[in-house]
Amino acid sequence: MVISMSEEKSNFKVLKYVLYFAVFCLIAGPWLTILWQEFGIGVGGTGILGIGTYFEFLPRFQGNFFKRLLGALLTLLVMVVEIVYAFVILALFRV
């Protein structure tokens, strides 16, 4: 299948917005957990899924097994950083 340049640019534009939304969800998730626990956890989980989606479709991580493994490891790293960030925010407010 041939992909035109305009389709490739539009796919990257969509990926860029997925990344922005995911980062917003990752940052806002712990703060929303303070106000409404179930909703905040859901927003944080949505952010992690968004980052995973971004890494999955980013051309840099497509190809051989090691590139895909690197994308999965980066997703796990983002998850660990998000968990630490959430614990720090929740500990500051003693929730």
Task: Please say whether the beta carbons of 40 and 30 come within 8 A.
Answer: yes
Integer Cα distance of 64 and 67 in angstroms: 6
Task: Please say whether the beta carbons of 50 and 18 come within 8 A.
Answer: yes
> According to the model, what pLDDT value does residue 94 have?
81
> According to the model, what pLDDT value does residue 41 have?
92
> According to the model, what pLDDT value does residue 47 have?
94
pLDDT-derived band of residue 1, with 50, 70 and 90 as boundaries? low
Mind listing the pLDDT tens digit for each residue in 19-73?
Answer: 999 999 999 999 999 999 999 999 999 999 999 989 888 888 888 899 889 989 9
Structure token digits, residue 93: 């407010």
What are the domain boundaries of the chain? 12-92
What pTM did the predictor assign?
A: 0.80
Cβ neighbours, 10 Å, residue 29: 23
Task: Please say whether the beta carbons of 29 and 43 come within 8 A.
Answer: yes
